[in-house]
Amino acid sequence: QTDPSVNVRVAALEALAPSVDHADVRTAIVQVLGSDSEPLVQLAALRVLEAHPSPEIRQALDELLETPNLEPLVRDHVRSILA
């Protein structure tokens, strides 16, 4: 979450994907959505989370939609997940 390289943060999210069944991993990825404003990182987190719907994830996505200046591509992806 703190590496200055967007590519490293995206790769880390992709590496966590096989472990998304674990609550602590899902929680960490949800936190990324709220704390990392880089669209590529947000999209990577969304790709990992969308296959594992839960009330926690839905709430995080609803909150993300409230973010001012959210990149339109990210906003559209969130809306497609919630639809």
Q: What pLDDT shows up at residue 34? A: 85
Query: Encoding tokens for residue 32?
Result: 């990324």
Q: Kindly report, residue by residue over 29-62, the tens digit of the pLDDT.
A: 999 988 999 999 999 999 999 988 888 899 999 9
pLDDT of residue 1: 67
Structure tokens of 54? 């839960």
51 neighbors 14 (Cβ within 8 angstroms): no
Residue with tokens 């994830």: 57
- 69 Rama class: left (phi>0) / alpha (psi -120 to 50) / beta: left
Rounded Cα distance, 68 and 70, in Å: 6
